[in-house]
């Protein structure tokens, strides 16, 4: 079962058909609750004024592309798709590793791709 937290960004990947207007749309989880035996999440999609309830299984965490670079003798990088919390954690690690480094020392960096 998919577990989400309030404020988490998610993408709709649920069933086609009547709900297809939501297919691929990104929104923010506003509430997670249990009604009888089933879990539900309330999601507010970007550009929509109201909150809509869904089964959590119809969503996946929203991921964006980030480029992580290593500026050393050999400049290397990798692209990864990360959620906001994952990117924030990597940024904290990089900040800790780069702290008190001289400007000519190898450094790590992370940036969002395409925006």
Run of H or E residues at 88: helix 84-98
Per-residue pLDDT averaged across 11-25, rounded? 79
Q: What angle (nearest 5°) sits at the alpha carbon of residue 41, between those of residues 40 and 46?
A: 150
Per-residue pLDDT averaged across 12-35, rounded? 84
Q: What angle (nearest 5°) sits at the alpha carbon of residue 1, between those of residues 31 and 80?
A: 85
Residue 3: its pLDDT value, please? 80
Per-residue pLDDT averaged across 68-79, rounded? 83
What are the pLDDT digits (tens) for 87-112? 999 999 888 877 776 666 667 889 99
Residue 36: its pLDDT value, please? 82
Mean pLDDT over all residues of the chain?
85
What are the pLDDT digits (tens) for 37-73? 888 999 999 988 999 888 899 999 999 999 998 877 7
């Amino acid at each position: 079962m998919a577990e989400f937290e309030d404020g988490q960004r998610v993408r709709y990947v649920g069933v086609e058909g009547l709900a297809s207007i939501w297919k691929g749309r990104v929104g923010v989880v506003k509430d997670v609750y249990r009604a009888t035996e089933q879990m539900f999440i309330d999601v507010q999609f970007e550009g929509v004024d109201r909150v809509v309830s869904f089964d959590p299984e119809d969503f996946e965490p929203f991921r964006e592309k980030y480029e992580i670079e290593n500026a050393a003798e050999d400049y290397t990088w990798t692209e990864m798709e990360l959620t906001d919390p994952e990117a924030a954690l990597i940024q904290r690690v990089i900040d800790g590793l780069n702290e008190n480094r001289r400007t000519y020392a190898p450094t790590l960096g992370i940036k969002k791709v395409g925006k």
